[in-house]
């Protein structure tokens, strides 16, 4: 039995990962301050909590130093998912605070591992494709990103910078302590359970608008031409599980598809899935972020044996039904 600490474990990725790991027989410890995650996400289909809340779940703010110190002696691995992230409006309206919070979260968890986790078998850090240089994402001509293009660094957002700084500090952790490290750089993850309110990211936000239409306007931020490499949470969990076995000390590994899908295509797909006659409005006064990106995932295929499996239409259909159910249940 592996003992694994998952930070940010009550979020979309963490809750799905923990359910998979528990099925494999692992013992899981969770730290989450429930800023976006929910303790209910850690329930099974019978609404039973999948971990003992009194001994294995800890509601703690990782931007405060020392919050993981007492847990490091209990675990073999750390999977560090925790960060502050939300939709594009939140990210670009709160860049200074977001940068500071993520720097504190990452540095505090890594410092705890350095001081109290010398016995650790591995520290797995989750980075982001937002850390790639703006110069590789500022055109609609999409050439899949490669890991060796991370430097010289020039991310567009404070979020991308903060995650890149955490990635660098994890590299230092491995070099200074000998702890095995792994860095997975996620592209745009979607799926359920998820936040679909004002801080939500593009797919859940558009699904919410479609479910609520015509009571809520179906508004798309930007021209809709901007694109992303969308990856379903089930495929992300596959990558994390594989990385625990094969990803150590290999440098950063991208996790995302080679296909760049425009937000316009996403909006039209959601309208189709909804079955409604929806007028799509593009608000070009709103920010839209990087123009386009996709992943050259050949390194993930070579090292982990990973490639995306869930089709975009299938994944969005599943998320649409989940959000629709949540909205209907809240009425």
CA distance 238 to 279: 37
Instruction: Please tell me what DSSP assigns to residue 255.
Output: E
- For residue 104, what pLDDT is reported? 98
Give CA separation, 170 vs 83, 164, 176, in Å: 15, 10, 10
Tokens 């976006």, residue? 36
123-171 tens-digit pLDDT? 999 999 999 998 887 777 788 999 999 999 999 899 999 999 999 999 9
Largest CA distance in the chain: 59
150 exposed, middle or buried (CB, 10 Å; 0-12, 13-18, 19+)? buried
CA distance 194 to 36: 8
Q: Is the peptide bond before 193 cis (omega within 30 degrees of 0)?
A: yes
- For residue 314, what pLDDT is reported? 97
- For residue 90, what pLDDT is reported? 87
Low pLDDT (below 70) residues in the chain? none
User: What torsion do the CA atoms of 156, 158, 163, 166 make, to the nearest 10 degrees?
Assistant: 130
CA distance 49 to 82: 20
- For residue 199, what pLDDT is reported? 81
Tokens coding 283: 């608000």
pTM for the model stands at: 0.95
Do 135 and 154 form a contact (C-beta atoms < 8 A)?
yes
Instruction: Please tell me what DSSP assigns to residue 16.
Output: H
- For residue 81, what pLDDT is reported? 98
- For residue 138, what pLDDT is reported? 77
Tokens coding 178: 């000998």
Do 33 and 56 form a contact (C-beta atoms < 8 A)?
no
- For residue 286, what pLDDT is reported? 87
Sketch out the chain's domains with CATH numbers. 3-192+230-256+294-309 (3.40.50.720)
- For residue 141, what pLDDT is reported? 78
């Amino acid at each position: 039995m592996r003992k694994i600490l998952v930070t940010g474990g009550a979020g979309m990725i963490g809750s799905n990962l923990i359910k998979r790991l528990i099925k494999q027989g692992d013992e899981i410890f969770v730290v989450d301050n429930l800023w976006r995650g929910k303790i209910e996400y850690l329930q099974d289909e019978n609404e039973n909590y999948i971990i003992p809340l009194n001994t294995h779940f800890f509601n703690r703010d990782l931007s405060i130093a020392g919050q993981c110190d007492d847990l490091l002696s209990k675990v073999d691995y750390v999977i560090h998912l925790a960060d502050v992230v939300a939709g594009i409006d939140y990210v670009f309206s709160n860049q200074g605070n977001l940068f500071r919070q993520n720097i504190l979260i990452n540095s505090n968890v890594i410092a705890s591992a350095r001081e109290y986790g010398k016995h650790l078998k591995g520290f797995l850090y989750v980075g982001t494709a937002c850390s790639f240089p703006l110069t590789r994402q500022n055109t609609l001509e999409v050439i899949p990103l490669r890991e060796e293009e991370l430097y010289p660094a020039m991310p567009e957002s404070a979020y991308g910078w903060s995650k890149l700084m955490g990635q660098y500090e994890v590299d230092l952790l491995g070099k200074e302590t000998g702890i095995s490290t792994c860095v997975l750089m996620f592209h745009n993850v979607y799926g359920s359970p998820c936040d679909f309110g004002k801080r939500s990211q593009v797919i859940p936000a558009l699904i919410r608008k479609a479910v609520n239409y015509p009571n809520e306007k179906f508004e798309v931020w930007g021209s809709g031409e901007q694109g992303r490499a969308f990856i379903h949470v089930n495929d992300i969990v596959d990558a994390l599980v594989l990385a625990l076995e094969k990803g150590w000390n290999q440098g950063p590994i991208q996790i995302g598809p080679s296909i760049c899908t425009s937000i316009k295509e996403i909006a039209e797909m959601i309208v189709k899935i909804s079955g409604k006659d929806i007028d799509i409005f593009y608000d070009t006064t709103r920010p839209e972020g990087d123009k386009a990106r996709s992943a050259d995932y050949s390194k993930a295929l070579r090292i982990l044996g990973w490639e995306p499996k869930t089709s975009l239409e299938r994944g969005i259909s599943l998320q649409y039904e989940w959000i629709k159910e949540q909205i209907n249940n809240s009425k």
